[in-house]
Amino acid sequence: MSNNMKNISAQRLAEMVRSGEISATEAVTYYIRRASEDPWGAYITLMEKEALSAAEAVDKRIASGEYLPLAGVPFSVKDNICTEGVKTTCASHFLENFIPSYSATAYLRLLASGAIPVGKTNMDEFAVGGEGDTSYFGTSLNPLDRTKATGGSSSGSAVSLASGSVLLSLGSDTGGSARLPAAFCGVYGMKPTYGSVSRFGLVGMAPSFEQICPMSASLDDNELLLRVITGKDLRDMTSKDISYEQFDGDKPLRVGVFLPDECDLDVRSAVKCAAQKLSDRMWNVENVSLPESAEAVRVYYTLSSAETYSNLARFDALRYGRMSERGTVIDSRSEGFGKTLRERIAEGVYVLEHNGGEVYRRALELRRKIRVGMESLYEEYDVILTPVCHTALPDRGSLGYSGDLFMVYANLCGCPALVIPLGRDGDGLPVGVQLMANCGGEKLLYEVGRIMEGRDVT
């Protein structure tokens, strides 16, 4: 059976389960074994009992004639997404034993589609961090090269895909948190239009930025996963039904390319190769600048720090979470929160309280200018092509903020962005590129991505 599972897509596996070629129980047993042997630190909690129970239920549903689009497909879940009866730790000492009494809507929609949960993945603590190294449970390592960065905060989700222990994963993206790990681990990550995927059950860090995201080992599987989890949810007041722009293969598209000079040679080569493939279709491909590029990263960190401070105020150990032996809220938070998270909270205090909140108000105004600037850009261009990071695949501990410039625009503006592993660096490791479109442009991004991969799209 292992030969049948090697390099298989989620869609193909679901076809095999629906046809009876393999049972969901047989399939998930194989992937549970792979996950249990994980040497990369991808998982915090394995869900063997839940997976086998779900697989048995899927086999019965298939036998009764029910059509399940993701029948028997294994998936992982970032550990800031609530799963009823299964620990949701946010990779924090503070929540290391927290078991939620409800599940996130996106997770429930996956279960309804026949997908099988394998485990909860490692991440930066409360999604604060960019390399997956702030987790209380240890750092996730890149299966392609353990000396290289995994990106964060959805590091474990990307690692679980790259190591082959699942075919799909739910991550979250606040400022590139799913897209950077996807690029560095050679998989696919989509940050959807804000509100298109319910955030109910996502432990919030910065609610006006973050979105639950589909991550996958193939582009087509990513689109299928997004389709399953998309849709309005009455339990999330920010969710909405999105009218997706359809792709017309006969219509010449306008493509803007943002490629700063400071990007390294491998990155520039990957972006230029992607641009050439689009130009070969007789599309209009031009260099562009992004609005307020000197301020965008600072705006993101200013506002997200303020929201993090406000959001995490409810974690006081009185209602849930780890209580210090001293029995005080201050001691509980000091002992339960890691250094990076405490620093981000302190930054949020400064932003909201310094000079009567003037720093915060100034950042809000700049965010509005960025949104207006991007809307103007989308009036001229259908798609924006950018690098993922200035460096193709940084060494562990060296990433810093070098990828943030390209990542934060989609979160500041609420528009969709797709990362595709397109090129290779000098060591043969993947180099990702990013596509952005206006709100509702997900279908357009997937089709353009297929063209960049050299596939025929009509």
Q: How far from chain centre, in Å, is Cα 398?
A: 21
- According to DSSP, residue 158 is labeled H
- According to DSSP, residue 148 is labeled B
Query: In this predicted model, what pLDDT tens digit does every residue of 257-294 receive, in sequence order?
Result: 999 999 999 999 999 999 999 999 989 999 999 999 99
Among residues 180, 201, 12, the alpha carbon closest in space to that of 105 is found at 201
User: Helices H, strands E: what count in the chain?
Assistant: 15, 11
Query: In this predicted model, what pLDDT tens digit does every residue of 396-429 receive, in sequence order?
Result: 988 877 669 999 999 999 999 999 999 899 899 9
How many Å from the N-terminal Cα to the C-terminal Cα in the chain? Answer: 36
Q: What is the average pLDDT across 331-345? A: 95
Catalytic residue numbers, as ranges? 78, 153, 177
Instruction: Tell me the H-state helices in 78-218.
Output: 105-112, 155-162, 179-184
Query: In this predicted model, what pLDDT tens digit does every residue of 96-140 receive, in sequence order?
Result: 999 999 999 999 999 999 999 999 999 999 999 988 899 999 999
Could you tell me if 212 and 202 are in contact, meaning their C-beta atoms sit under 8 angstroms apart?
A: yes
Tell me the residue type at 313: A
Whether domain 2-229 has CATH 3.90.1300.10: yes
Contacts of 384 (CB under 8 A, 6+ apart): 255, 256, 257, 258, 288, 290, 377, 378, 435, 436, 437
Q: What is the average pLDDT across 231-249? A: 88
Backbone dihedral angles phi then psi of residue 44, each to the nearest 5 degrees = -100, -45
Write down the pLDDT at residue 260. 95
User: What percentage of the chain carries pLDDT values higher than 90?
Assistant: 87
Give the chain's mean pLDDT: 95
The domain locations on the chain are 2-229
Could you tell me if 127 and 174 are in contact, meaning their C-beta atoms sit under 8 angstroms apart?
A: yes
Write down the pLDDT at residue 319. 82
Contacts of 163 (CB under 8 A, 6+ apart): 34, 38, 40, 42, 143
Write down the pLDDT at residue 1. 54
Could you tell me if 284 and 252 are in contact, meaning their C-beta atoms sit under 8 angstroms apart?
A: yes
Write down the pLDDT at residue 2. 56
Query: In this predicted model, what pLDDT tens digit does every residue of 30-52 receive, in sequence order?
Result: 999 999 999 999 999 999 999 99
Q: Token pair of 310, please?
A: 């406000």
Q: Does residue 244 carry a pLDDT above 70?
A: yes
User: In which band, very low, low, confident or very high, does the pLDDT at 251 lie, cut at 50, 70 and 90?
Assistant: confident
